[in-house]
Amino acid sequence: MKKCKVRFAPSPTGPLHIGGARSALFNYLYAQKQGGEMVLRIEDTDRERSKIEYEEEIIESLRWLGIDWTEGVGKGGENGPYRQTERLPVYQRYIKQLLDEGKAYYCFCTDAELEEQRQSLIKKGETPRYLGQCSHLSAEEVQARLDAGAKPAVRFRVPRNKIYVVNDLVRGRVSFEADGIGDFIIAKSDGLPTYNFAVVIDDVLMGITLVMRAEEHLSNTPRQLMIYEALQFPRPDFAHISLILGEDRQKMSKRHGATSLIQYREQGYLPEALFNFLSLLGWSPHGEEEILNPEEIIRDFSLERVSKSPAVFDLDKLNYINQQHIKRKSLDELQALLYPYLEQSPYAAQVKALDEKRLGYMIAAIRNHLVCLTDVNQELGVFFDQFQYEEEALEVLQGEQVVRVLTLFTEDLPACQDPAEVGAFIKQVIKKSKEKPKNVYMPLRSAISGRTHGPELPALICVLGREETLRRVQHTLEKING
């Protein structure tokens, strides 16, 4: 059996967004699962809007996400070049073939004429399309205009009275009437091919067996099928994956918050979490478990479980998934991931002053509270800020047992080198005080941090160290005693 080969073909007219990343990911998952190949092709024929910086950002985003390709930009391969603007002679060859065979023709209409036609069709309530004015020009007429220096576009002659059918692997059988489609441009007057033409030539020459892309390209598919037919190319399979909607059920856009992958990276999302989250935008795993690593997703991925209905982007779900992936990290991994954020934090100096052991305790103490890596700063305040007691903490500190408990605590507090030891010590205090655990933990936490919630108490104490812990408790006792 022929090896499957998919492609991701972004236009470098902006950064990689959630939608593009999802298309790239599904192609990657499919290729990985099938043991196939994947091409990265850059579709940069819109010269005005395409920028090399965007191409670089797209590639950086794909790499960060953990998507790899076997052939294409950044990798090379035997079907290159992989940037469309570097393939112009290839397209010109096929455009000439279509012109020679009468399947395409030169169009000399000006933008103004085309616009006028468009408006008049709209006024009549008809679908705006090209009505074929230049399709009847004689060879002599065409030659005369070319000799006079006109720079025509090239239009494809759409066959009449035909139905084009695609058996889409996600959407099923979809048919299109050719009559609703006007003769369309395949090469602009500057010689550059249009998307619908170049995409076919490239998919064929690059040996693509499955074209998987966003649903918004479904309406382009009949035009592409016509080109396959006209050039007698074998067709690949097609799979159109559904739109991604915002929580308000509108198409995803900037209004729905950060959308470029790089922005998510900057906000402290893990690539594994985004990989996991994107995979669930339109696909569902066999089991109940939704927190999955890339290997698990690849193993389970199939087009049969890709849904036809639109996917909804749910930020709470992304946050939840990110939190779960943070929890799965080892302490060393998490420490390395947090390093850049710690270095830039207002507490950088204090963090630097911690020895390895205490740094480890601190990270262990906050890990369960992190939704994003950037939350680390918010979590560090409790260790380093000069705090004000919160209302609830003040209430706790009014308990009749409080002075007794705090005093017992200060009497024998050990060296605070090991959270297990401190934990055992607090249990002793509970025993000696004959209080319920809560009546000891809450005042201690309130006295030490000014809050009633926060990181594990023994870890907090070990990060602060014996001296600072005692200072805080003394300070609280003085406050209580007026």
Contacts with ligand GLU by CB under 6 A lie at 9-11, 43, 199, 213, 217
Q: Which is nearer to ligand GLU, 6 or 376 (CB)?
A: 6
- For residue 355, CA distances in Å to 201, 340, 463, 469 come to 61, 18, 9, 17
Rounded Cα distance, 203 and 207, in Å: 6
Written as six digits, the tokens of 281 are: 């935008």
Question: Are the beta carbons of 154 and 185 closer than 8 angstroms?
Answer: yes
Asked about 254 being catalytic, the answer comes back as yes
Rounded Cα distance, 234 and 381, in Å: 63
Rounded Cα distance, 437 and 433, in Å: 10
Q: Which is nearer to ligand GLU, 23 or 335 (CB)?
A: 23
Give the H or E element holding residue 200: helix 195-205
For 98-120, b/e burial (b = at least 16 CB within 10 A) is: bbeeebbbbbbbeeeebeebeee
Rounded Cα distance, 246 and 138, in Å: 52
Nearest distance, CB of residue 267 and ligand GLU, angstroms: 24
Nearest distance, CB of residue 417 and ligand GLU, angstroms: 57
Q: Which is nearer to ligand GLU, 83 or 367 (CB)?
A: 83
Reference 191, options 88, 73, 93; nearest CA is 88
Nearest distance, CB of residue 259 and ligand GLU, angstroms: 15
Nearest distance, CB of residue 345 and ligand GLU, angstroms: 38
Question: Are the beta carbons of 98 and 104 closer than 8 angstroms?
Answer: yes
Written as six digits, the tokens of 144 are: 């005369």
Q: Which is nearer to ligand GLU, 197 or 384 (CB)?
A: 197
Nearest distance, CB of residue 217 and ligand GLU, angstroms: 5
Which residues contact residue 18 at a Cβ distance below 8 angstroms, ignoring those fewer than 6 apart?
Answer: 244, 252, 259, 261, 278, 281, 313
Residue from 2, 123, 254, 434 carrying the catalytic annotation: 254
Q: Which is nearer to ligand GLU, 40 or 459 (CB)?
A: 40
Q: Which is nearer to ligand GLU, 43 or 435 (CB)?
A: 43
* Helix/strand/coil for 2: coil
Nearest distance, CB of residue 85 and ligand GLU, angstroms: 13
Q: Which is nearer to ligand GLU, 58 or 373 (CB)?
A: 58
Nearest distance, CB of residue 86 and ligand GLU, angstroms: 15
Written as six digits, the tokens of 480 are: 């209580």
Question: Are the beta carbons of 341 and 234 closer than 8 angstroms?
Answer: no
> Active-site residues: which are they?
254
